[in-house]
Amino acid sequence: MRVNANGQVTIPADLRAKYGLREGVEVDVIDDGGTLRITPRDGADSRGKQLVQHLRRSRFTNPAVREMTTDEIMALLRD
């Protein structure tokens, strides 16, 4: 891997899948005595919670959905 001009690196797809690092997941980079560790940020929202938040923010969402609980929205998505 190389660090690009913006200080970014690309984590290989198999490692992203293995550790659940999807687009939008917040991570911390920790200096661990000469090594860098990349870990999901504590308290980061789950993928389901991120989806629900996205639906609630969407301007195309039916206003009734904005009033639904997370469980109600997830039930709709599963049907």
Q: pLDDT at position 36, please?
A: 93
For residue 68, what is the DSSP state?
Answer: S
- Please report the domains of the chain, with CATH numbers, ordered by start residue: 1-42 (2.10.260), 47-78 (no CATH)
Nearest to 19 by CA among 48, 40, 43: 40
Percent over 90 (pLDDT), the chain: 28
Taking only the tens place, the pLDDT of each residue in 23-39 is 878 888 999 999 999 98
Q: Is the dihedral of CA 54, 57, 63, 64 positive or negative?
A: positive
The pTM is what? 0.49
Query: What three-state secondary structure class fits 53?
Result: helix
d(CA 55, CA 24): 15
